[in-house]
Structure 1
Amino acid sequence: MPAWSRNPRYIVLILVAVVTTLYLLGPFGEPDARPPPPPPRVASSIQDDDLPNRLARSDKIYEKLLLDRKELIKKFGPTPNDVALFPPNKNPWPAYTVWDFFPAAYNCPFEIQRLGALGDGGKWVCGITRVETKPDCIVYSFGINYESSFEAEILANTDNCQIWGYDFSVNSFGPEIPRSQAHRTHFRPYGLAGTDAHGPDDVHKMYTIESLMKMNGHTHIDILKVDIERYEFETLTALIKPYVASGKPLPFGQLQLEIHLWDFSFSQFLTWWEMLEEAGLRPFWTEPNLVYQNYNRGGSTDLAEYSFLNIKGDNIFIKDPKRRPPPEAEHNRHAPDPTP
């Protein structure tokens, strides 16, 4: 006689095993329509005590880069007016492009993380963990174009960051912003420019960064993203020059910027770039816009993404908000001489 017929307990065990197997292997009810959870946050392994030393080492590395740039200008110039952005042939050799003069030579003292989509849309950020729980975290994003994966991942990686987005060519953020986080976003159909101006019938409103900050009651921006199709030169010049003249630190911690070198000369770009450096901006990441180059095959790679750290002032990416670094750690941390 089979064991299961002699003892009813065997029947119960077999039924439990069958039901459990079917439950684990077979779908029950409607599939879960909820979006997948965001990726786990990246923890920073950098100790605040070591932050001044890391920045000091990065300063030395960047100072060498400035000397190397001067030598490269002499080699292919000998003056900035003689240097071509993109040499049209193999003379001079070895070949170069304008981007070789401006590498991202500054080391971010924290983790570097790409936030947003791979390809067009994402940006590289230094130390997002520094604002993970910051109660007054402020992010400005100029240039939305209905693609908001960057902004969505900032929301996913922080608890309190509020994002202000601006773009007069669209009516809202992109679909990547989840409804559960929409209360932390603020969109206006405004453009960014060097002066405040309104178009006909009060459309295409243009504002400076400082005007928008005053409008919103902000004195500091933690992360500033700018992708405005070449207007970055006019806009950032208007913002930065007064700060350079006064010696005051810029009102933001880091800058994610796409640069468009349309109708520019090397000497013009060098002068503008040196203004950024004098204001305390240091590039820690760069990549050419290969999507644009692919659409314009045979043309120059005259678009590039850069991420800058602001090494002046007391922003959260260079100073511990709880403890001030010793005075000797700040010794000789001055703006380098930009003259080639």
Structure 2
Amino acid sequence: MTDALILGGGLAGSAAACLIARGGGDVLLLERETGAHHKVCGEFLSVEAVAHLRQLGVEPLDLGAVPIQRMRLVWGDRAVETALPFAALGLSRHALDEALIGRAAASGARIERGVRVTGLDGHTARTSVGEHHGRHVLVATGKLPIRGERPAARIANGHVGFKMHYRLSPAAMQHLAGAIVLVLLEGGYAGLQLIEDGRANLCLVLRADAFAQLGGDWQGVRAWLEGTGFLQRVLADAQPLFERPLAIANLSYGPPPRGHATGTAMLLGDRWAMTPSLTGDGMAIALRSGFLAARCVLAGRDAGTYHRLLAGQTGRQIIRATVLQNGLESPAFRRAAYWLARMHAPVLAYAARATRLPDWRENA
């Protein structure tokens, strides 16, 4: 039986594997993908995420990460911009996840790829290659359920997420340089920024009813985006780099429901809770959960203690981000938020600061 059995090799799972192995624990990490792959994600590394990556020995700039110093809020043809109150970076999950799982392996964690988890019963995981047992089981499978789990309840008018990488025109590249752009849309929002290798990442979140009104397919969504103010100009000559966008439905944003984490497994990252994407702190929360899970494993603490500590670390951020997202889905709130930012641009920096995680204390 291994000290830590980790299911999932994304940000949270790989961070926990790296730290537990460094601390002398025996770690087995199971990852279902055989190699680098893309995920639906805004690919915005906030100040907390960057700090955690450097603590793990991963330098995002060495992977080609693009510095982001400014935030631009767009509503129709109108825009307001301000400096971010912290340094941020843009980097794809394709590059980052591979760097982290490599760091975990270099730290002494055993990595098995191409392994699908088919069931979880207490401290035992059933997989496509047999059973594995762990004194501590860490579930870090992201937005995807473990095969055989009861499907999540269908969310009434829930969110649908899309991601597409583009090769932009030189003029559009220059227009985006150094900025994260948040575009307020009817029924959702889009984030656009540069990442490594001269690419741009568009991440879009829509309510299910808004998606249905656009025909319920990407072609309808893309045609709508390309006719929408700022995005029309930026995407006019853009070359899509995926044959089709990555997509995911039934997204459950907000704090975890009561009774969500009652078993013996530690839930990491999006398996714990999904913070709204517009704050750009999803990757930071995933990494923070990995750091906290590793601390608890090495200290011999149980899953209940871990979940209480994680709620204390992330609860305020998730609640504030959810209130902001729900507000921006109201036309009146969107209008008021834009004009408030227009009259007093520092309010954007205040919102960015208010939705950050608390500082991580190494010896807490």
Bigger share in strand: 2
Q: TM-score, normalised by structure 2?
A: 0.25
**More relative contact order in 1 or in 2 (CA 8 Å, sep 6+)?**
2
